[in-house]
Chains A and B, each alone.
Chain A
Amino acid sequence: MKKLNRRNFIKGSLAGGIAAAAAAGKAKKALAAGGDFGGYPDSMGVLVDMTKCVGCRTCEAACNKEQGLPEPDKPFDDYSVFDEHRQGGLPRRTTEKAYTVVNRYNIDGREHPLFRKFQCNHCNEPACLTSCFVNAYTKTPEGAVIYNPKVCVGCRTCMIACPFYVPAYSYSSAINPVVKKCIMCYDTRLKFGRPPACVESCPQGVMTFGKRKDLIALAHEKIGENPGKYVDHLYGEHEVGGTSWMYLSDVPFEKIGFDMHLGKEPIISYVKDFLAIVPMVLCIWPALFTGFHLLSTRKQANKEEPPKA
């Protein structure tokens, strides 16, 4: 009986060990990410000054051409799109055909409507990246969060995870559906040090391209030098661990569709507690349950073989 128990214990531990090996990488990553990543030090970013946007949609057109996206449903100089609403009365969002959209917000007391450009924010610690089990996303040192369609299985967890509701999926395709989102023109521009197409195309200079840390300084400078003009908040500086695309506004952010309840922690922080438990269970359960087994079955063994007097 004793021999069998030892053998079983070893076998149980081996089985647990194999499972542990499978999760070893995960344990390492969980341990290494003790603090926040905070982004690569020299990563680029884009500062979006929404006080300047006039809603001309040139950026949408530029993105469409640069990324080779399909023909839109309406011309890019057709502004009736601002009246379009999707399910739930919500404004337009990114789709498999549009990596960026501009939405209009009518604000009481503001002479002109506010226009907001919406696209992937290229977070420092992206939720999409941390949730992907085939490592399809990469945070490049240049700052862009890019996607590899060649390994994507189509589980769509990234779409669940993204707090900004950015990734779209080409549901219309049966043979090669993939995630569709802004890649900050990485392949065609950012890699070579050039700004994304939308930034370059903007006639109003809404977007400023530069090093993320410089843009943060610039944004606060702008807020300081124009007292009362801007809301004293740079959106994206800290939200979900910081994003590469940041926003300045003269209208409170919650009124123009920005989620103010995202917190400063990257999404992975909410998952880390569970990830940390995984290696604990793998290491503790084998001994714990073998112990339970020995403790509870000893009674039967004693019945069969009473202890020697």
Chain B
Amino acid sequence: MKKLIAEGFQPIDTLIKPKTNNPWSLKDKLLLGLTPQEYTKQLFRNPFNWILAIIYAVGIPILVGRFIFGLGWATHSSYDYPWGLFLGWGLFVMVPLSASGFMMGTTVELFGRKDFKPIERLGLLNGLLGYFFAVVFLEVDLGQPWRLVYPMFVSLGPAAVLFLVAWHVATYLSVQMAELVPATSELMGWVKPKKFIKSIVLGLTIAGIILSTLHQGALGALFTYAPGKVHPLWFSGAFQWFHFFCSSIFGGLSMLIVVSTLSKWFLGWRCDANFSKNLDQITLGIAKGCSLALITYLVIKLVALAHDNEWGYLLTGWGQWYIFEITAGVILPLVFFTMAIRTNRAGLARFAAFVSVFGIAFNRLNTALITFNWQLYQEIPHWREIVIAITVYATYIVVYRAVLYRLPILYTWQGDSK
């Protein structure tokens, strides 16, 4: 696309073709105003697509195989280790990283910080796609995925934490889809839907905060069902849910910085001045939020250690692993974020965000997979599990990219002007 832009191509950002009175058709909008041949050519030129092609060539047969031969063939899920990478990565890592939806909605709509508006839609999209693909990962993991709606309509077990997660994720997905209706309405030229959503946006935002607080916490609470199985340093009977909720705050915000950075680097042609010029300032603003959440998280982790008197564990091998996680995943990003804010360096904040995302992923994988069953034996995912996880994640990136190409998220819709 960069080549085309350099040649003077202007991707669609209005409803009407410039210099004419004819509206763009849906096909035009999907192809960004290119001809099918031009579009396909730029597809082939993009080196990222070659990597994707390899991933899909290997991954699709394995993914299909999971459904034909069952979980026993595709995973190392066992009687002792029922959960593997699909849930460990796809659910437990992706969900906190998708918390940007409610964070940005709250910042802009609830607290009225309009200076974050340029990145608001990206935050919402990050949230929506992250949750949507978390559900995709869940469907890949469930023994009987066609029964996904059972906890809602067939047989309800309301006392279970997972019941809350199921309902909330479903409701929250609807909320997030509604929050992205304005962007879609602009592209499609609808008027009423956008107006309607705008009128209930505060309600949607508050609903989003409620749902997010609870299900981010609930994912942590799931591990309170197995108090002896997660290593004590990663487990807190009293505070597990709060650890997960607090870390989701900086998780979502950091992921937003990461995604905005990747958009700046690889989709720069799509970003308009409103986005690009304000991005550094916005990044530093988000960094402030991240650092506040990080210091809070660090302290409540230490409080949990004190509460259960677990200092002795720090001297063990697992203790060293824990110290590494806290240092690399919490303290390091905290220091970098703070330095970046003080010295006004957005680049450093971006680096901190990457480290912070790693920290979240590391913490969730530790809790769900690595320190789980710490008293039994270690289990590693099957290579097929890794391949499938990469394939589904690649699809997440593909869909992400497709939406960012088209919907007015990185750029402002010019409407009927021009």
Contacts and interface: CB of A to CB of B under 8 A. Distances in A.
Check A-B contact in the complex, CB < 8 A: yes
A28 to B, nearest CB: 8
Nearest to A274: B221
Contacts of B147: 134, 151-154
Interface in A212-259: 259
Interface in B66-100: 67-72, 75, 77-80, 82-83
A157 B206 contact: no
A160 B112 contact: no
Contact of A285 (B83, B167, B206, B241): B206
Interface string A89-109: 110011110000000000000
Q: Which residue among A14, A133, A173 has the maximum number of chain B CB atoms within 10 Å of its CB? A: A133
B171 A29 contact: no
A15 interface: yes
A219 B344 CA distance: 72
A155 B163 CA distance: 11
A15 B166 CA distance: 17
Interface string A1-20: 00011011111101110110
B339 interface: no
Interface stretch (A60-68, A69-77, A162-170, A201-209): A162-170
Contacts of A130: 159-160, 225
A293 B112 CA distance: 7
A182 interface: no
Contact of B207 (A12, A134, A155, A271): A12
Contacts of A153: 142-145, 147-148, 150-151
Interface of B is mostly: helix
A79 interface: no
Interface size class of A (residues with CB under 8 A): 35 or more
A130 to B, nearest CB: 6
A211 interface: no
B154 A151 contact: yes
Contacts of B110: 289, 292-293, 296
Chain A contact surface mostly: helix
Contact of B206 (A22, A148, A174, A290): A290
B328 interface: no
Contacts of B218: 274
B68 A174 contact: yes
A8 B198 CA distance: 11
A134 B142 contact: no
A278 B238 CA distance: 14
Contact of A281 (B79, B213, B229): B213
A256 B53 CA distance: 53
B229 A151 contact: no
Nearest to A173: B70
29 contacts: A7-B199, A8-B202, A11-B202, A19-B168, A23-B164, A29-B159, A33-B159, A96-B79, A131-B160, A131-B162, A133-B166, A136-B155, A136-B157, A151-B147, A151-B155, A153-B148, A153-B150, A154-B145, A155-B162, A160-B226, A161-B225, A171-B71, A171-B78, A273-B237, A274-B217, A274-B241, A275-B221, A285-B213, A289-B106
Given A22-B167, A151-B147, 10 more contacts: A15-B210, A19-B171, A26-B160, A33-B159, A87-B379, A157-B162, A169-B143, A171-B71, A274-B161, A289-B106
